[in-house]
Each structure stands twice: as structure tokens, then as C-alpha cells.
């Protein structure tokens, strides 16, 4: 049996995730998508694998796209010194759906 894994990730994580999936020999089809709440541009990956590979794919996604904190220095164009302290922001995050697949063909 096979599964389709649909992963919605932030654009900033999509290159890293794409390369990590390819290194692990998981083919993916990538779509440009938009999140409905903040209309943020994101990237959606469609990956089809055998049931027993699902956990491996999930591990790659988790490793490369999970929510984490990052210190960011406000951009240089803000020339108020008080604002240029590094701040802790949340970045990343993946929403992942696993769907059943009946069959797959290569022509």
C-alpha cells in the first residue's frame, strides 16, 4: 500500500526540505500555495511512498521545517538604536496530511 504525504511549509524552508528529500531519495512534486489566514506564500510538497516509508519522510520534514525560535536583528534601515537589538521570533512549521493511495503508474 502507498500513501500521499502533503506537506505545507514556509517558503524559507522549502529549498532546504527539497534538497533533504532528494538526498533521502524521496521524489516530490512542489506547488506554490497561499495560506488562507495571513495570505502568506508557502510551499506545498506532494510525496508518494510505500506505507513503511511514511515515518522516514515525516522525520525529514520535521527535521527541516519544524517550528523553531530564531534570533533576528531588525533590518538595518531601522536606524533607531533601541530597535536594533536581536529579537526572538518563531519561524518555520509544517502542516502535514497523509492520504491513502490506491495505485501508482509510470508511463
Q: Coil, helix or strand for 88?
A: strand
Q: Does 29 bind a second copy (CB under 8 A)?
A: yes
Q: Coil, helix or strand for 61?
A: helix
- Footprint on residues 33-72 left by a second copy (CB under 8 A): 33-37, 39, 42, 44-46, 48, 58, 61-62, 65-67
- Name 12's Cβ contacts closer than 8 Å, sequence gap at least 6: 91, 92
Check if the beta carbon of residue 4 is closer than 8 Å to that of residue 47. yes
> What letter would DSSP give residue 74?
P
88 binding partner (options a second copy, Ni ion, none; Cβ < 5 to 8 Å by kind): none
Three cell numbers written together for 39: 495570505
Check if the beta carbon of residue 17 is closer than 8 Å to that of residue 93. no
Q: Which residues pair with 49 in a beta bridge?
A: 3
94 binding partner (options Ni ion, a second copy, none; Cβ < 5 to 8 Å by kind): a second copy
x/- string (CB under 5 A) for Ni ion, residues 67-96?
------------------------------
Q: Which is nearer to a second copy, 67 or 73 (CB)?
A: 67
Return residues touching a second copy (CB under 8 A): 2-4, 6, 8, 18, 21-22, 27-37, 39, 42, 44-46, 48, 58, 61-62, 65-67, 93-107
Return residues touching Ni ion (CB under 5 A): 20
Amino acid at each position: 500500500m502507498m500513501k500521499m504525504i502533503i506537506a505545507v511549509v514556509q517558503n524559507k524552508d522549502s529549498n532546504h526540505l527539497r534538497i533533504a528529500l532528494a538526498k533521502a531519495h524521496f521524489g516530490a512534486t512542489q506547488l506554490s500555495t497561499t495560506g488562507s489566514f495571513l495570505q502568506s506564500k508557502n510551499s506545498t510538497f506532494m510525496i508518494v511512498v510505500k506505507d513503511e516509508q511514511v515515518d522516514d519522510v515525516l522525520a525529514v520534514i520535521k527535521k527541516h521545517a519544524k517550528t523553531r525560535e530564531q534570533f533576528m536583528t531588525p533590518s538595518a534601515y531601522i536606524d533607531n538604536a533601541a530597535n536594533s537589538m536581536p529579537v526572538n521570533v518563531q519561524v518555520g512549521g509544517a502542516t502535514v496530511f497523509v492520504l491513502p493511495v490506491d495505485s501508482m503508474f509510470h508511463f
